[in-house]
Amino acid sequence: MKHIACIEDLRALARRRVPRMFYDYVDTGSWTGYTYRSNEADFQRIEFRQRVALDIAVRSTATTMVGQPVAMPVAIAPTGMTGMQHADGEILAARAARDAGIPFTLSTMSICPIEAVAEATGRHPFWFQLYVLRDRGFVESLIDRAQAANCSALVVTMDLQVMGLRHKDKKNGLSAPPRPTLRNLANLATKPRWCWNMLATKHRQFGNIVGHVKGVDDMRSLADWTREQFDPHLSWRDIEWIRGRWNGKLIVKGIQHPDDARLAVKSGADAIVVSNHGGRQLDGASSSISSLPAIVEAVGRDIEVHMDGGIRSGQDVLKAVALGARGTYIGRAMMYGLGAMGQRGVAAALDIIRTELDLSMAFCGKTDIRSVGREILHMK
């Protein structure tokens, strides 16, 4: 691991080790990819104000997210098909997050089911991300399963009422099940490590769904069911319904407008996540970091504001915190580590981010992440 110095090193290694269709699923956005690129690029327009000759010997990146102690203001974001970056991917990422002292969020569209992640992590509390699908009975069962698995927070994603146009996935034949084109088969032949690990696991399909929905017993029947499940009628009444059924912390993800943030407050949520789905839904939308300040100004006194999108370093985390985020989420940075080296790669990604966060905070003259504010920034 001596050659792994930053998240970009993990990305380059993952690109070599993960089959093209699954790597591209992570490393692209929708349409032209404008918003996907802006999420990352807009962080670069924010500069720090360095301080010197201050006592910075003793420092802490520890804080809380929705009342839960965390070693740094970072959670692992819910990412679909994590288990296709590396066999048992959700289990490995959850273990790395547990060991690092931060939350792990399991996606509804995970490969490993809720119960397997809970068992493999010794029932250490993790978070569960929920899509509000048309089949409300299935949604109720997911909520009940998450509570039974000792999940401490429910993250409800609001920005997938319809699916964005993801051109690269279509070109790669990424579907359920994946199309076995000659191009894909030839690429798989160049990834023997990935293939061997996948052959050794029993987790190869959407474990939270297959076997839990009547008539959905394999990947092909899953594809037919999934196409009908995204709900364009989703409303804030659904969040109120979930709030009445869920006993733990409730986080609403996919907020980009102050008005929606205010509605989330009224719905009873404990936190919101400023997010554009990693640039995978509406291309041309503003980056998360540029949307963050207005939302913090609108509701920051009434609800805990988190953000995701474009975070590739501890410096990005520090900038988001300085702009008012109480927590951040990493998706691609974690997936790069997972695809590169499994659990060790996720652990490496988290260690890189924590170290960069700590050192950058120190250079700005701060010793406690909870005291960081806009005074450390110079905005272009």
> Which positions are annotated as active-site residues?
277
Residue type present at position 90: E
Task: Tell me if 280 is assigned to a ligand binding site.
Answer: yes
Helix and strand element counts for the chain (H, E): 15, 12
- Collapse the DSSP code of 141 into the 3-class scheme (helix H, G, I; strand E, B; otherwise coil) and give the result: helix
267 is in an annotated binding site: no
Q: Tell me if 107 is assigned to a ligand binding site.
A: yes
- If phi over 0 gives left and psi between -120 and 50 gives alpha, with beta otherwise, what is residue 334? alpha
Q: Is 332 annotated as a binding residue?
A: yes
Give the CA distances from residue 49 to residues 60, 252, 360, in Å, rounded to whole numbers and listed in that order: 19, 32, 10
169 is in an annotated binding site: no
* Locus of tokens 């050659």: 3
My answer on whether omega of the bond before 177 falls inside 30° of 0, hence cis, is yes
Assess contact for 184 and 172: CB atoms under 8 A: yes
- 331 annotated ligand binder: yes
- Is 308 annotated as contributing to ligand binding? yes
275 marked ligand binding residue: yes
Query: Would you say 79 is a known binding-site residue?
Result: yes
309 has binding-site annotation:
yes
166 labeled binding residue: yes
Question: Is 129 marked within a binding site?
Answer: yes
- Please, are residues 152 and 249 in contact by the beta-carbon 8 Å criterion? yes
Question: How many CA atoms does the CB half-sphere of 23 hold within 13 Å?
Answer: 20
Q: Which residues contact 192 (CB under 8 A, 6 or more apart)?
A: none
Please answer whether residues 159 and 230 qualify as being in contact, where contact means their C-beta atoms are separated by less than 8 angstroms: no
Output the known binding site for glyoxylate: 25, 131, 166, 277, 280
Output the known binding site for FMN: 78-80, 107, 129, 157, 253, 275, 308-312, 331-332
Output the known binding site: 25, 78-80, 107, 129, 131, 157, 166, 253, 275, 277, 280, 308-312, 331-332
